[in-house]
């Protein structure tokens, strides 16, 4: 059953220079107990999309479309309901959020805060729950008495995950949860996330520019370019057999250990992502695309079926068009 449904979601920031279409017509579904990875270069709209899910965007952002969380329309929710949903039904681990811990408050008090705010524990019972959460993220209970500066980056990220788990949400949104960590610690945190998913049946939306990390953790992948989803499908298929040339470039940029040498040579995607206020016409990717056709600059690009459970927005997977019906001129 779908836990989260996005239907034609768009986000536009209004700034002095004009409008920035950061997310454009994104439709995705996340089934309960599954993990969806959202990939894309910097500026492709991943974080904006993540923030839109819990209405955490700044006031200059206008959100369109529909976001249904367990059937409930997030964009139409009253503030009281939205406050109840945040942390308790869906929580978010921000990019670099470990630096957002309060430096002068003990770790235990910070983990307890969402529990107390949502009335899920009383001050005297919260300590036991905090110890339990620390244990779940692989830290000893005595760490509750530590201050953030006494922990390593990896330990602080575990604290952020403990906070996200505190109210037992059904959905966790993790925006680049391991980007700031070194490779060994990154692997440990990813293992922790995978264990938590398997043990607790939580659903996950994980955002990263690293397709290989997402393919390792998530069941399905959505690849974003210039605010649009350009490909989605089962993780292994999208990573190992991408149908969109942009997904192929991302996959080549992040090889995994054991990949054949041929795959390790990056396919060298030239150029920069487009300015969202000055998007190329037709397929937005065409100026950088190694396999672009003459028609791509004027193409009405859609997410066409690219396999049983896959879609890709590329002319190369477009189904053959029906021949236009022949018109006969009746001359009387
Ligand atoms: N508050 C804002 N006001 C105006 N434009 C914004 C704002 N936040 C983001 N943008 C723009 O929206 C687009 C998408 O940004 P977003 O941060 O969502 O991308 P991203 O894929 O998450 O990138 P990164 O990985 O660097 O965080 C970018 O062009 C960015 O400049």
3-state secondary structure 160-193: HHHHHHCCCCCEEEEECCCCCCCHHHHHHHHHHH
Contacts of 168 (CB under 8 A, 6+ apart): 88
Residue 213 falls inside a structural domain: yes
Query: Which parts of the chain have pLDDT scores under 50?
Result: 257, 261-266, 322-332
- Residue 19: CB atoms within 10 Å: 13
pLDDT at 108: 94
Residue 132 falls inside a structural domain: no
pLDDT at 125: 85
CATH number of 280's domain: 3.40.50.300
C-alpha span between 28 and 12 (Å, rounded): 18
pLDDT at 259: 52
pLDDT at 99: 66
Q: Which of 164, 154, 238 is nearest to 204 (CA)?
A: 164
Contacts of 162 (CB under 8 A, 6+ apart): 111, 133, 134, 136, 137, 139
Domain of residue 62, residue span: 2-89+169-316
Q: Decide: pTM greater than 0.90.
A: no
Q: 264 in ligand 1 pocket by Cβ < 6 Å?
A: no
CB 273 within 8 A of CB 226: yes
pLDDT at 266: 42
Residue 328 falls inside a structural domain: no
pLDDT at 321: 65
Pick from 15, 17, 24, 48 the residue to mutate for probing ligand 1's pocket: most ligand atoms within 8 Å of its CB: 48
Say how many domains are in the chain: 1
C-alpha span between 173 and 89 (Å, rounded): 11
- How many angstroms does the Cα of residue 227 sit away from the middle of ligand 1? 9
Residue 180 falls inside a structural domain: yes
pLDDT at 262: 44
């Amino acid at each position: 059953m779908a836990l989260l449904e996005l239907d034609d979601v768009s986000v536009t920031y209004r700034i002095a220079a004009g409008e920035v279409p950061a997310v454009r017509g994104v439709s995705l579904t996340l089934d309960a107990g599954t993990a969806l990875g959202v990939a894309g270069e910097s500026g492709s709209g991943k974080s904006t999309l993540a923030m839109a899910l819990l209405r955490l965007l700044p006031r200059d952002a206008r959100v369109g479309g529909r976001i249904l969380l367990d059937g409930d329309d997030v964009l139409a929710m009253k503030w009281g309901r939205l406050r109840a949903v945040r942390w308790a039904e869906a929580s978010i681990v921000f990019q670099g959020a470990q630096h957002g811990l309060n430096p002068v408050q003990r770790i235990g008090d910070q983990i307890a805060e969402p529990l107390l705010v949502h009335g899920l524990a009383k001050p005297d019972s919260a300590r036991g729950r905090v110890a339990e959460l620390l244990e779940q993220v692989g830290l000893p209970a005595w760490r509750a008495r530590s201050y953030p500066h006494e922990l390593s980056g990896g330990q602080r990220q575990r604290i952020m995950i403990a906070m996200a788990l505190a109210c037992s949400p059904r959905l966790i949104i993790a925006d680049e949860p391991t980007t700031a960590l070194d490779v060994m610690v990154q692997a440990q945190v990813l293992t922790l996330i995978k264990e938590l998913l398997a043990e607790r049946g939580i659903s996950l939306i994980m955002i990263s520019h690293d397709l290989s990390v997402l393919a390792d953790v998530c069941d399905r992948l959505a690849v974003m370019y210039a605010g649009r989803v350009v490909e989605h499908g089962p993780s292994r298929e999208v990573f190992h057999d991408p149908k969109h040339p942009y997904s192929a470039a991302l996959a080549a940029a992040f090889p995994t250990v054991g990949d054949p040498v041929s795959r390790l040579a990056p396919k060298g995607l030239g150029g920069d992502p487009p300015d969202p206020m000055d998007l190329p016409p037709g397929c937005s990717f065409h100026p950088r695309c190694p396999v672009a056709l003459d028609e791509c600059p004027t193409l009405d690009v859609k997410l066409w079926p690219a396999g049983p459970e896959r879609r890709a927005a590329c002319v190369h997977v477009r189904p053959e068009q029906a021949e236009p019906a022949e018109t006969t001129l009746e001359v009387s």
